[in-house]
A and B are shown apart, each in its own frame.
Chain A
Amino acid sequence: MSIFEYNGSAVVAMVGKNCFAIASDRRLGVNLQTIATDFQRIYKIHDKLYIGLSGLATDAQTLYQRLVFRHKLYQLREERDMKPETFASLVSALLYEKRFGPYFCQPVIAGLDDDDVPFICTMDCLGAKELAKDFVVSGTASESLYGVCESMYKPNMESEELFETISQALLSSVDRDCLSGWGGHVLLVTPTEVVERTLKGRMD
C-alpha cells in the first residue's frame, strides 16, 4: 500500500455563483483499521480562505501548522489577509522546499479573493499547482470523485444547489472507496456567511 493510502482521505472543492464549497470525508484509518470517524481535514486560514489536506494525516497536520504560522506572520506584517492566489503560491513554495523528502499531502485550496470571486486550486505533494474553474479533487477516492464531479457539475450554481451537488459527489465517491468515508464535512462559503454541515452516509 502506498504512503498516500495509509490514512485514507477524500477532499473536493467546487465553484458556484459567487460562492464555493469544500468538502471532505471523516475517516481516519491505519491501513484497513478505522481509528477515528470525526477527523478534520479542512482547515480555516482566514474567513475567506480554506485548505483541505488529503494524504498522510501527520504531514497534513504539520503542514497546516506551518501554514497558519506563516499566515499569521503575514497578517501582522502586512496588516491584511492573504489572497487565495498568494496563499496557493506560498503552499507550493513550502512543498517544493521539501522536494527530496516531501510532505505526503495533496492540498486543496479554496477561497474568495478581494472582489469575492471564488478561487480553487489543488497541487501534488511537490507543489505543482493545478488551477481549475469548476472543481478540484484529491485523496484516495480521487478517481471516483473526478468521474462524479465531471458528470454532476454545472457552472454558476447557487449555494443550496452547490451544496447538494458536492454532497452527492462526495458521498457516492467515498462509497466506492474502502479507505475513505464514515460521513462527510461540507463547508459552503459565500461573501456574507459560512455554513458548515456534517453529512451522514454509509458508515463503513
Chain B
Amino acid sequence: MGDSQYSFSLTTFSPSGKLVQIEHALMAVGSGQTSLGIKAANGVVIATEKKLPSILVDEASVQKIQLMTTNIGVVYSGMGPDSRVLVRKSRKQAQQYFRLYKEPIPVTQLVRETAAVMQEFTQSGGVRPFGVSLLVAGYDDNGPQLYQVDPSGSYFSWKASAMGKNVSNAKAFLEKRYTEDMELDDAVHTAILTLKEGFQGQISSKNIEIGIIGVDRKFRVLTPAEIDDYLAEVE
C-alpha cells in the first residue's frame, strides 16, 4: 500500500496509519522462542523454551526468566539483549519507588513505567523499538497479576497468554485448558503441556525454564530438579 516507503523511519507514520517499524518489531517477537504465562487463583507461573544454539553452550549460565523485584518476575520473547536493558531499567525504577515511598512498587505501576520506556523508544530520534514482548508476573496487595508488554508500549493484563513462535496454537490450547479457580500447581502442569504442544524435540528440564510466584510473594525460578518432578507428573 506504499507502506514500504515508510518502513525505514520509526518516527514517520505510513499513510495507512501504522508505524511500520513497530510492526517489524512485533515480527521479531513472533519469531522468538515461545514463552507463556498463566495466572492461577493463588499465584502466577511463567515459562519459556530455552533452545540453545549448540550443545556446547553451558545451559546453567543462561537464564531467560529474571527478577524485577523480589515479588515480580519477567520472561521475554524476542531479542534477549533488548530484554536485559528493559529489566535493568525496570529494576532501577522499582528501587527508586521504594526509596521514595519505602513501599514495594505495585505490579501495575512497574508495568506502566516499563511500558513508558518502551513507548519512548518509539517516539525518539535515532533509536529503534525494543525487539521483545515481556510477560510480567507478580503478586502484590491486589493479588496475583500477569501483564504482557509489547514493543509499542501497550500493556495488557491477562489470565493466560503466550508469545513467540507458536503463539496461536499455544493460545488456543490455553483457552481450552484455562479455568478461573486453577491452583498454582495445576497452572504449572498446564504451562508445561502448552509448551510441549509446539515443542520440537524432547522436552526436558534442560531446555525449558519455569518461574513461579505464590502467596509467599517470592518470585523464584524452578531448579532443573523441580522441573523434572513436574515433567514426571505430567507424563
Contacting chain A: which of B96-104, B175-183, B207-215, B221-229?
A: B96-104
Contact A86 B109 (CB under 8 A): no
Question: Which residues of chain B have C-beta atoms less than 8 A from A78's C-beta?
Answer: 106, 108-109
Report if A124 contacts B (CB, 8 A).
Answer: no
- Number of interface residues, chain B, beta carbon within 8 A: 9
B99, B106, B108, B109: the one contacting A93 at CB < 8 Å is B99
Interface residues of A in 55-106 (CB under 8 A from B): 77-78, 83, 85-86, 89-90, 93
Question: Which residues of chain A have C-beta atoms less than 8 A from B100's C-beta?
Answer: 89-90, 93
User: How many Å lie between the Cα of A78 and that of B141 in the bound state?
Assistant: 12
How many A-B contacts if CB must be within 8 Å? Answer: 19
Contact B102 A86 (CB under 8 A): yes
B99, B103, B108, B112: the one contacting A86 at CB < 8 Å is B103
Identity of the chain A residue whose Cβ is nearest the Cβ of B102 in the assembled complex: A89
User: How many Å lie between the Cα of A120 and that of B100 in the bound state?
Assistant: 19
Identity of the chain A residue whose Cβ is nearest the Cβ of B108 in the assembled complex: A78
Question: Which residues of chain A have C-beta atoms less than 8 A from B112's C-beta?
Answer: 77
User: How many Å lie between the Cα of A77 and that of B106 in the bound state?
Assistant: 11
Question: Which residues of chain B have C-beta atoms less than 8 A from A90's C-beta?
Answer: 100-101
User: How many Å lie between the Cα of A86 and that of B141 in the bound state?
Assistant: 15
Question: Which residues of chain A have C-beta atoms less than 8 A from B103's C-beta?
Answer: 83, 85-86, 89
Question: Which residues of chain B have C-beta atoms less than 8 A from A86's C-beta?
Answer: 101-103
User: How many Å lie between the Cα of A77 and that of B102 in the bound state?
Assistant: 17
User: How many Å lie between the Cα of A83 and that of B112 in the bound state?
Assistant: 21
In whole Å, how far is B138's beta carbon from the nearest beta carbon of chain A? 15
Contact B109 A85 (CB under 8 A): no
Question: Which residues of chain B have C-beta atoms less than 8 A from A77's C-beta?
Answer: 109, 112
Identity of the chain B residue whose Cβ is nearest the Cβ of A70 in the assembled complex: B100
Question: Which residues of chain B have C-beta atoms less than 8 A from A93's C-beta?
Answer: 99-100
Identity of the chain B residue whose Cβ is nearest the Cβ of A83 in the assembled complex: B103
User: How many Å lie between the Cα of A86 and that of B103 in the bound state?
Assistant: 7
In whole Å, how far is B3's beta carbon from the nearest beta carbon of chain A? 36
User: How many Å lie between the Cα of A190 and that of B101 in the bound state?
Assistant: 25
Question: Which residues of chain A have C-beta atoms less than 8 A from B102's C-beta?
Answer: 85-86, 89
User: How many Å lie between the Cα of A83 and that of B99 in the bound state?
Assistant: 15
Question: Which residues of chain B have C-beta atoms less than 8 A from A83's C-beta?
Answer: 103
User: How many Å lie between the Cα of A90 and that of B97 in the bound state?
Assistant: 10
Interface residues of B in 101-124 (CB under 8 A from A): 101-103, 106, 108-109, 112
- Among B101, B103, B106, B109, max chain A CB count under 10 A is at B101
Question: Which residues of chain A have C-beta atoms less than 8 A from B108's C-beta?
Answer: 78
Identity of the chain B residue whose Cβ is nearest the Cβ of A79 in the assembled complex: B108
User: How many Å lie between the Cα of A152 and that of B64 in the bound state?
Assistant: 61
User: How many Å lie between the Cα of A78 and that of B109 in the bound state?
Assistant: 7
Closest 5 CB pairs of A and B: A89-B102, A86-B101, A86-B103, A93-B100, A89-B101
Interface residues in chain B, defined as those with a beta carbon under 8 Å from any beta carbon in chain A: 99-103, 106, 108-109, 112
Given contacts A77-B109, A93-B100, 8 further A-B contacts (CB under 8 A): A78-B106, A78-B109, A85-B103, A86-B103, A89-B102, A89-B103, A90-B100, A93-B99
A-B contact pairs, 7 of them (CB 8 A): A78-B108, A85-B102, A85-B103, A86-B103, A89-B103, A90-B100, A93-B100
